[in-house]
Amino acid sequence: MSPEEEVTRTEEAPPYNKLTEDEKPYALFTDGSCRIVGKHRRWKAAVWSPTRRVAEAAEGQGESSQFAKEKAIQLALDIAEREKWPTLYLYTGSWMVANALWGWLQQWKQSNWQHRGKPIWAAPLWQDIAARLEKLVVKLHHVDAHVPKSRGTG
């Protein structure tokens, strides 16, 4: 594979409670959602830092919750790039995001952003994410989403 075809495969991160105290400041939890307001879909993407106890969000209209989850990844990448983090530890409840970062991005790029002859949904977002992953060390962990607080790892 030539260098211009390469997409860095994201490594798996440990669970948040297994990070060292030095790694925890570089951990971000991401999520996205969508709801119907009147006749319009409104999405919101959010990123949370447990150590800093701060959140960043973006919102818009006309897209899905999956789109919002991808936008949340972009927000996390924005933070890590802006602050020049050595490593970004990403935590997401989205299997699509996890699988994309763990290998689908490589496959999509090699097949010219198509799957079975059809364009990848939201290809411009995925292309942006893929390009940014080539410049930043990112480790990702899938977390169970929408579980009772009693099942959380607190």
Grade residue 5 by pLDDT with cuts at 50, 70 and 90. Answer: very low
Between 65-82 and 123-133, two packed helices, what is the crossing angle to 10 degrees?
Answer: 30
Cβ atoms of 55 and 30 closer than 8 Å: no
> Distance between CA atoms of 17 and 141, rounded to whole angstroms?
12
pLDDT at 1 > cutoff 70: no
pLDDT at 144: 86
Beta pairing partners, 114: 119
Judging by beta carbons within 10 Å of its beta carbon (0-12, 13-18, 19+), is residue 61 exposed, middle or buried? exposed
pLDDT at 151 > cutoff 60: no
pLDDT at 87 > cutoff 70: yes
Task: Give the start-to-end residue ranges of the domains of the chain.
Answer: 26-142
> Distance between CA atoms of 29 and 141, rounded to whole angstroms?
10
pLDDT at 92: 96
pTM: 0.87
pLDDT at 4 > cutoff 50: no
pLDDT in tens, 63-83: 999 999 999 999 999 999 999
Mean local confidence (pLDDT), 125-149? 89
As its CATH architecture, domain 26-142 has 2-Layer Sandwich (3.30)
> Distance between CA atoms of 127 and 62, rounded to whole angstroms?
20
